[in-house]
Structure 1
């Protein structure tokens, strides 16, 4: 076979290119021989009232569910959600974990390519002259123990993925990247829900404070009236004590509500990545309660398929399946082609001479023959992990279905509860108004006024608490459906 030369260096084509040609042919013919199982998506059967999405548009997402917080028609809530998505530190940290997972995936994928390195060596060598056989003689002339060494070289190592070990490792890392993304989606959904719940608590508590302030004014009037009647010799100390007790009780309730308002504002500020106190001027003003939107008319299958916990469980199962393939591939031959080129000389002029050249092109094959069944045990372990992942995935679907059904029942039940409490509060306010009029007319006793006053306050506060809980149940329903995070993908 012909040779080619570079300066004074000659390379024989057969010797230099044979390993490369062999590697290329083996990769081409056997590159598709990936052993081990390949992941196929699991199909779960859902109840009949979960309908399929429009097949013509696989990315179909109902806007009223993807951005469900906008159904409350509260611009301040919309702004808080936007701030949370942009500045919440937990969400931003999960974005970095996605980048970490991508980098680890690229590290595994780098095994597909030749690993090429450059090295150089230069300096002086001094051999010992104290050893009798350390200084060989040529023509009875002693050799100089001092020598200079110049060397440079390139090294390359290429691992041929004949049986898909690297392929399975990269696929497993791809699943890990997807898991990191689903973890981010889950954090986004959690932060979104916490922002909405705390905002509902804040607005509801502010309305509870307004009601208690109104009753404190009424209690103050009753207390002043009892004092005047006592001073006029018509009233007694019992009435003064009773009205004072009512006033002080309501004032203590007011202090507790003020504390809840401050804590809710601080929580919202932290959730949106702001220092406590920066949003107080905007949030401290009482605004109307958010309107409760209607429950979703339909339950698309897509919503459950987009729950981050279900998607993460499915990706864990897929990664475990790829891990089986990695362990199975470990039972087959591993082929590595190391190539090195390292000239050595004592002077720069000799470094490129033919005699200074040194290189090697090899093909190394290793095959595990006897390790006491270690690799087979690894395969069985990976299979058991994958089966556990598959069962956990199906259990996650069942849990999601239960949470959705529970959320629907809770929402409908709370709706009826709020309606009945509203009627009770109306009647309590009417009874309180009438009892005060009768008392002022001298027809009714003060005890009746105090009782109806306390009853009216309890009824109005209970109604507001139930309304806040209804708003929370609305948030829980959308969280159970897994919607909301898609607005920022």
Structure 2
């Protein structure tokens, strides 16, 4: 290629590279945020939020729970799966970026060519050997000039997808921690309710023994002894369901830890007190938008869909490529590097759609519709997030009020049970009063534990709703299951032998 033509080709490439990027530029919607939440606690928003976003579960003061969270953030299979998807998307982004660079390939050929001797062309040609040895090699370069931004818009979409998967992994992390705390609270609540049921069983057995003593003295009848024994049987029957709930909670925790139930590695059989949730942090709607992973996912998917419009629009415009080929060939290997053996081509190629039956315009319309759907989903996600925060805050405060009333009920019912048992022992009241007092006292204690569990669940839901928890955890990047050097050995092992 002479110098003049080379300069002209370089100038043409430079002009083409200065082309425009078609399609709309992404601009996120302006979101009108409320001034605050109706049920939000008072306090210093900044300080409260900082404490809440970093290991809020540690404020429960339970070292066993802290150990479980640490194990789960390392071993949870959902988190590791989300990390693998993120790793794959980043590699796909690197693959798409390679389209901006020239693609170079090399090849080599060697062999014999056998020609037909049944025909002569040109006519009268004689003395031509029908068997020819052939040697050749090639260097091929192809460079797509991204004049209208098809590749660049695709990279914008891929970048947004990477960000969305990163936020999605944060959402998986947040969900894992929240579910773990909820399952742990359910386990401790089941153990506490079992202890209350055992205490009630002991109380009914004591009452039954008292009835038997009074019966032996002629101060009670067989109906009362039967009722007392029935109450003992009823109390004994309430214990087994709590064992079932505890077993299910332990198994759920094992799944979150990424381990079989028999290999949890943490003592969960020894009962511990049900954690008491700390005061909820003050939070603003802007913090929720900034920290909730699902909102970030929706916003990034909206950006990705907007970039896909540019990809679809670019397909309406010509494609420009620069194919360069260097293809020497010779019948003898020692002449392969000579000037006569050289063959090359340098072109500037352009292709443009002429008629596609409406396929390309339909793709553009579909991309615009998908972007609009993503925009609406983004808005819907924000509104839903605010509603979830309001619901969680209201549920927490209402349950806290209910728990205060249940504490009074436990105190009053315990006093009533004590009085009824003393009056019955003195023969001043009937046994039905004792049974009624026992049932009321047991129901009040059991309801109080259930309320404590509900309050804990409301606290977990609130932390999850405001997007708190993932900020304080560093997730190790997932690597490929097979190291690169081992992959190379596999490739070498399975390479076909020529």
TM-score, scaled to structure 2: 0.89
Q: What SS does the corresponding residue of 1:62 show, helix, strand or coil? A: helix
1:98 aligns to 2:83 (yes or no): no
Decide which of 104, 127, 136 is 1:151's aligned counterpart.
136
Cα distance change, pair 145–454 in 1 and its aligned pair in 2 (3 A): same
Q: How does 1:348-359 map to 2 (within 5 A)?
A: 348-359=333-344
Matched pairs, number: 466
Q: What SS does the corresponding residue of 1:149 show, helix, strand or coil? A: strand
Distance in 1 of aligned mates of 2:356 and 2:262 = 65
1:410 aligns to 2:384 (yes or no): no
Q: Which residue of 2 aligns with 1:42?
A: 29
Distance in 2 of aligned mates of 1:425 and 1:150 = 97
Cα distance change, pair 463–50 in 1 and its aligned pair in 2 (3 A): closer
Distance in 1 of aligned mates of 2:416 and 2:289 = 48
Distance in 2 of aligned mates of 1:257 and 1:93 = 33
Decide which of 243, 251, 254 is 2:228's aligned counterpart.
243
Q: Runs of 5+ in structure 1 lacking a partner?
A: 1-10, 52-57
Q: How does 1:253-332 map to 2 (within 5 A)?
A: 253-279=238-264, 282-299=267-284, 301-332=286-317
Decide which of 222, 234, 238 is 2:207's aligned counterpart.
222
Distance in 1 of aligned mates of 2:435 and 2:51 = 50
Please give the root-mean-square deviation of Cα atoms over the aligned residues, in Å: 2.1
Decide which of 16, 23, 29 is 2:13's aligned counterpart.
23
Distance in 2 of aligned mates of 1:134 and 1:255 = 100
Distance in 2 of aligned mates of 1:278 and 1:48 = 48
1:80 aligns to 2:65 (yes or no): no
Decide which of 58, 63, 80 is 1:70's aligned counterpart.
58
Q: Answer yes or no: is the 8 Å Cα contact 1:19–1:361 preserved in 2.
A: no
Distance in 2 of aligned mates of 1:280 and 1:446 = 49
Q: Answer yes or no: is the 8 Å Cα contact 2:208–2:225 preserved in 1.
A: yes
Cα distance change, pair 136–177 in 1 and its aligned pair in 2 (3 A): farther
1:63 CA displacement? 2.8
Q: What SS does the corresponding residue of 1:277 show, helix, strand or coil? A: helix
Q: Which residue of 2 aligns with 1:429?
A: 414
Distance in 2 of aligned mates of 1:182 and 1:121 = 50
TM-score, scaled to structure 1: 0.91
1:441 CA displacement? 2.5
Distance in 2 of aligned mates of 1:135 and 1:475 = 92
1:250 CA displacement? 1.1
1:222 CA displacement? 1.7
Cα distance change, pair 203–248 in 1 and its aligned pair in 2 (3 A): same
Q: What SS does the corresponding residue of 1:151 show, helix, strand or coil? A: strand
Distance in 1 of aligned mates of 2:428 and 2:122 = 129
Q: What SS does the corresponding residue of 1:404 show, helix, strand or coil? A: helix
Cα distance change, pair 454–134 in 1 and its aligned pair in 2 (3 A): farther
Q: Answer yes or no: is the 8 Å Cα contact 1:135–1:142 preserved in 2.
A: no
Q: Which residue of 1 aligns with 2:159?
A: 174
Q: What SS does the corresponding residue of 1:283 show, helix, strand or coil? A: coil
Q: Which moved more, 1:333-342 or 1:174-183?
A: 174-183
Q: What SS does the corresponding residue of 2:267 show, helix, strand or coil? A: helix
Cα distance change, pair 62–135 in 1 and its aligned pair in 2 (3 A): farther
Q: What SS does the corresponding residue of 1:360 show, helix, strand or coil? A: strand
Distance in 1 of aligned mates of 2:184 and 2:122 = 87
1:230 CA displacement? 3.4
1:226 CA displacement? 2.6
Residues 119-151 of structure 1: per-residue CA shift (max 9 Å, x gap) = 1110111112222448863xxx51111110111
Q: Runs of 5+ in structure 2 lacking a partner?
A: 39-45, 475-498
Q: Answer yes or no: is the 8 Å Cα contact 1:136–1:142 preserved in 2.
A: no
